Amino acid sequence: MSSIKVGIVGCGTISSRYFEAGQKFPIFDVVACADLYVERAQEKATEFNVPQACSVEELLASSEIDIVINLTIPAAHAEVGLAALNSGKSVYNEKPLAVTREDGRKMVALAKEKGVLIGGAPDTFLGGGIQTCRKLIDDGWIGTPIAASAFLLGHGHEGWHPDPDFYYQPGGGPMFDMGPYYLTALTTLMGPVKRVTGSTQVTFPERKITSQPKAGEVIHVNVPTHIAGVLDFKNGAIGTIITSFDVWAHELPCIEIYGTQGSMSVPDPNNFGGPVRIRRAGADSWSEMPLTHGYSDQSRGVGVADMAYALQSGRAHRANGDLTFHVLDIMHAIHDASNEGRHINLESTCAKPAPLPLDLPPYTLDE
């Protein structure tokens, strides 16, 4: 089986994970990389033995490349993604798919028109933690899921990130920054959402940066930083989600799923592994379950590998455009519901992504 050729646009810190994935998964090879700062692309190309470091325009014009991994900042996801699609390449975007619904719809529609694939991060739901939870739910360990809760609470990025401003601009905030991990996991385990409502607020309109190199600069906050949402799933279950950059400390779980025959504690969806715990009806304590799937360590790039397999076989890929757009739609709808004081019925939907098969060899996704 020949490998799929991949190009990376955006050579910041997170790009190293994708370069490493290209060295681990036989299904794809990273053959080019690009960045607005060409020297940054050259550094990554040297570090990871990538044949070509070039401009974004040169990468998109290359007839050799099948998939573009778009690791630009959220505000550039649509511009770069649409340009790559127009060049006839499949696109794997970092989260979120786009900043606006309109751009997300354009990307999904253009991919279908061009006969290529669109999708993106997060791919943590393909890790051993969430896949084990999916297996247990599908096998009936907690009965029929009836409710779920999810919490991402912290105090933002200005105390540690070297350039935290964009986290407080459109496309950022706790929901758009971290919500994709949680909502993708919930959709994988519970299915699509049909209706939402929510409340949002900006607690601190200005934030002072205390991290280097911009310590002392003031960020003007232009997105909600505490968001509480209610999710009505298509299967009848009810979910709650809170994401916040305004909380100093808490003792809440990441995700819990509640079923007719028991409860499940789901590991941090920002990671690939983590403990999976079950407490069934009548039990007096929680039981940690063995992981049924691999990819429990850092496995960013498994979603790209899955897209590459799909390109070769014609099967559906899991971190696909319908899923990533549905997550984008949910996030916007929660904000819109707060602004408009109402429930919002979602127009988007998606299928639950297929579970990974059991007992696959390492760095292999298809039998």
Question: DSSP states of 22-59 as a string?
Answer: HHH-TTEEEEEEE-SSHHHHHHHHHHTT-SEEE-HHHH
Tens-place pLDDT, residues 26-55 = 999 999 999 999 999 999 999 999 999 999
In tens, the pLDDT along 213-258 reads 999 999 999 999 999 999 999 999 999 999 999 999 999 999 999 9
Domain locations in the chain as residue ranges: 4-120, 125-289
pLDDT single digits (tens) 261-314: 999 999 999 999 999 999 999 999 999 999 999 999 999 999 999 999 999 999
pLDDT interval class at 1 (50, 70, 90): low
Q: Which CATH number fits domain 125-289: 3.60.20.10, 3.30.360.10, 3.40.50.720, 1.10.287.990?
A: 3.30.360.10
For residue 243, give the 3-state DSSP assignment: strand
- Across the chain, mean pLDDT equals 96
* 122-175 tens-digit pLDDT: 999 999 999 999 999 999 999 999 999 999 999 999 999 988 998 999 889 999
Give pLDDT, residue 2: 78
Predicted local confidence at residue 320, as pLDDT: 98
Q: What is the pLDDT of residues 59-82, one digit of tens each?
A: 999 999 999 999 998 989 999 999
Q: What is the CATH number of domain 4-120?
A: 3.40.50.720
Question: What are the residues facing 280 on neighbouring strands?
Answer: 262
> For residue 253, how many C-alpha atoms fall within 13 Å in the half-sphere facing its CB?
17
